[in-house]
Structure 1
Amino acid sequence: MDMHRIGLLTKERGINKKEGIFFYTPSDFTQHNLLYILWGARYSCESPYSVVRTQGFSALLIFYIETGCMTFTYDGEKFTANAGDSVLIDCRKPHSYRADSPVTFSWFHFQGELGYAYTDRFWSHRRIIFKIYAKQPMSEILHLLSSGNASGDELAFRIQELLSRMAQSLTPPLSPPIQNAKNFIEQNLGQPVSIEAIAAYAGLSRYHFSRLFHQEMGVSPYRYLLNMRLEHAKKLLSESSLSIEVIAEMYAFYSASNFIRLFHKYTGMTPLQFRHFFRNGTNASS
């Protein structure tokens, strides 16, 4: 990797104080299987601190802004990050950032396929800035890097924690119609309700309801209803002696054969195999 090209060894004006840069060399296992850090640091800067990368390189970059604010340009769009914000960018895309005022921030570059998947997911929502509590996790990561005794597993866990918090912040509360529909579904798992009936309860047309439900819940109304029925059926299979026929009737699967077919399709086991697994820890024929 050409350090001059990516900016590590260029003169960076505007830096008043540095803690780091701390480097990390992953093991072969970590590099091939986990998220792993390349290097990181903590900076205190002021204008004219600025980094511009028109030619990207294969790494991801997380910032946590402690004080002040910074402007980021990423893939042609501009963002402002303030104190308390975390920023995640894919360095393969053209990007730049600068100090708009005296600013203190911590950062690290990292790699790993899971990190790219998260970044692509966030960018599909045009998000690179997240309001999550990251001061302590970032401080702990830099402390581990500076100690020279960092474990690849521990660093991977802490990166995953940050990415998970970002993902959780991405999900807004459900809209009233979808929350009402979700409640209606969960209260009527044993009834042969139709998608039209659920949409009517939510006060929407079937088309609008199905589109909005999938947008907010991540699955279709039918699949959510089926998932909930299967989850309750699993509980009865693992904790009761009720027959397959009774469970199928309780959760509106219409027939035992339909229940067996759907259960096998979505779990890879028949209901009897599932029950036997939980009771004996082994497979059994259906």
Structure 2
Amino acid sequence: MIKSYGFRFPDSYPELMLIETIGHETITDAAYDWEGRTRQTTGYLFQYTLAGSGWLEVEGQLFEVKKNQAFVVEIPGPHRYYYDPRAGEPWEVIWVRLRGGQMASIWDSLHKRGPVLQLNADAEPIAAWRRLFHDTIKGKLNDPYVQSVRIYEWLLTILRLSRQGHEASRRPDGLPPYGASIAYMREKYGRTINLEELAAVEHLSKSHYCKAFHRALGLSPFDYLNRVRVEEAAELLGGSDLTVTQIAAATGFDTTSYFGKVFKRYVGMTPLQYREGQHDWNVDRLKLV
């Protein structure tokens, strides 16, 4: 069974992101030892551990790369990754090595959050890698432009998770993490909501809920709630005759002045400026992301 593939296109596509190699390997031999400074090839490597463990050395720092961990390195570069048979079990990995002029800034962003990344086995970057590998086998990535789009989509799944700083898996019901408390916020945004009741909706302690929510979504529960309130306030500003004070009260803000500060922070203008149309957004609904 073929477990790895390489791509070589007859023409040069320096503006595209392309696959050099992609594959799945079980390593049992100490001969698996790659010194990044002496390699003759160039590119960017993502390697993920399915089972066992290996070692990554980067600029004098040593990392054990365990199950559900990936590393990212640029080739050539000041790194070494290798397998130590004393681990007692094989190192099973999947990988993709990429090239292209657009890769440098993306890889730099990834490496700043690495070089070792924690990714659950059912996390979207791993699912997306499997789709890349499957479509490589089926011959669906032979067009360099199609391949480049797919690589970019895959890279964005990693950037999204690493930027949010969480290790969340996809929920089987397709809902976002902490969907119950999010739904609660969207239903009850017009009144005072405290952390205790949000945590209770998720059946967690207040402390655990706050930390877990931030890890999963990249912002605090109150930041999320304020975004919901500002979205609703923007709709009322554009589609009702309520005063700014009435809208502040209707969307759960304690005072008009606090409402104004929060609205300006998220939208970039005061509620009154938004109502007067001091923007060029021809939209029916404002979404804060």
TM-score by length of 2: 0.60
Query: Where do 1:104-253 residues align within 5 Å?
Result: 107-110=96-99, 111-118=103-110, 120-121=112-113, 125-127=117-119, 130-132=126-128, 133-135=131-133, 138=136, 143-144=142-143, 150=144, 156-166=148-158, 171-172=168-169, 178-253=178-253
Cα deviation for residue 278 of structure 1 reads 5.4
Cα deviation for residue 251 of structure 1 reads 0.7
How far, CA to CA, are the matches of 2:65 and 2:104 in structure 1?
A: 26
How far, CA to CA, are the matches of 2:5 and 2:56 in structure 1?
A: 24
Q: Residues 178 and 202 of structure 2 are in contact (CA less than 8 Å); yes or no, is this contact kept in structure 1? A: yes
Which residue does 1:36 correspond to in 2?
17
User: What RMSD, in angstroms, separates the aligned Cα atoms of the two structures?
Assistant: 4.8
Out of 57, 70, 73, the residue aligned to residue 90 of structure 1 is 73
Alignment partner of 2:248: what SS?
Answer: helix
Which residue does 2:272 correspond to in 1?
272
Unpaired runs of 5+ residues, structure 1, are 1-14, 82-86, 145-149, 282-286
Q: CA distance change for structure 1 residues 236 and 74 in 2, over 3 Å: closer, same or farther?
A: farther
How far, CA to CA, are the matches of 2:150 and 2:213 in structure 1?
A: 33
How far, CA to CA, are the matches of 2:258 and 2:24 in structure 1?
A: 64
Aligned-partner residue type, residue 143 of structure 1: N
Q: Residues 167 and 216 of structure 2 are in contact (CA less than 8 Å); yes or no, is this contact kept in structure 1? A: no
How far, CA to CA, are the matches of 1:172 and 1:201 in structure 2?
A: 20
Q: CA distance change for structure 1 residues 54 and 17 in 2, over 3 Å: closer, same or farther?
A: closer
Q: Residues 53 and 65 of structure 2 are in contact (CA less than 8 Å); yes or no, is this contact kept in structure 1? A: yes
Q: Residues 56 and 82 of structure 2 are in contact (CA less than 8 Å); yes or no, is this contact kept in structure 1? A: yes
Q: CA distance change for structure 1 residues 223 and 80 in 2, over 3 Å: closer, same or farther?
A: closer
How far, CA to CA, are the matches of 1:155 and 1:187 in structure 2?
A: 42
Cα deviation for residue 18 of structure 1 reads 7.1
Q: Residues 80-123 of structure 1, C-alpha deviation per residue, up to 9 Å, x if partnerless?
A: 79xxxxx76323442248xx99x9x9843233222332355475
Alignment partner of 1:143: what SS?
Answer: coil
Cα deviation for residue 189 of structure 1 reads 0.2
Out of 35, 50, 55, the residue aligned to residue 54 of structure 1 is 35
Alignment partner of 2:72: what SS?
Answer: strand
Alignment partner of 1:164: what SS?
Answer: helix
Q: Residues 120 and 169 of structure 2 are in contact (CA less than 8 Å); yes or no, is this contact kept in structure 1? A: no
How far, CA to CA, are the matches of 2:269 and 2:147 in structure 1?
A: 37
Q: Residues 36 and 112 of structure 1 are in contact (CA less than 8 Å); yes or no, is this contact kept in structure 2? A: no
Q: CA distance change for structure 1 residues 138 and 17 in 2, over 3 Å: closer, same or farther?
A: closer
How far, CA to CA, are the matches of 2:108 and 2:226 in structure 1?
A: 31
How far, CA to CA, are the matches of 1:200 and 1:18 in structure 2?
A: 50
Cα deviation for residue 263 of structure 1 reads 0.8
Unpaired runs of 5+ residues, structure 2, are 58-62, 84-88, 284-289
How far, CA to CA, are the matches of 1:155 and 1:53 in structure 2?
A: 27
How far, CA to CA, are the matches of 2:26 and 2:118 in structure 1?
A: 27
- What is the aligned residue count? 243
- Larger Cα Rg: Structure 1 or Structure 2? 1
Q: CA distance change for structure 1 residues 196 and 25 in 2, over 3 Å: closer, same or farther?
A: same
Which residue does 1:77 correspond to in 2?
64
Name the structure with the higher helix share. Answer: 1
Q: Residues 137 and 158 of structure 1 are in contact (CA less than 8 Å); yes or no, is this contact kept in structure 2? A: no
Q: CA distance change for structure 1 residues 78 and 219 in 2, over 3 Å: closer, same or farther?
A: closer
Alignment partner of 1:131: what SS?
Answer: helix
How far, CA to CA, are the matches of 2:267 and 2:192 in structure 1?
A: 22
How far, CA to CA, are the matches of 1:125 and 1:220 in structure 2?
A: 22
How far, CA to CA, are the matches of 2:3 and 2:116 in structure 1?
A: 36
Aligned-partner residue type, residue 94 of structure 1: R
Which residue does 2:287 correspond to in 1?
none
Q: Residues 51-106 of structure 1, C-alpha deviation per residue, up to 9 Å, x if partnerless?
A: 53233587422579xxxx9986545434579xxxxx76323442248xx99x9x98
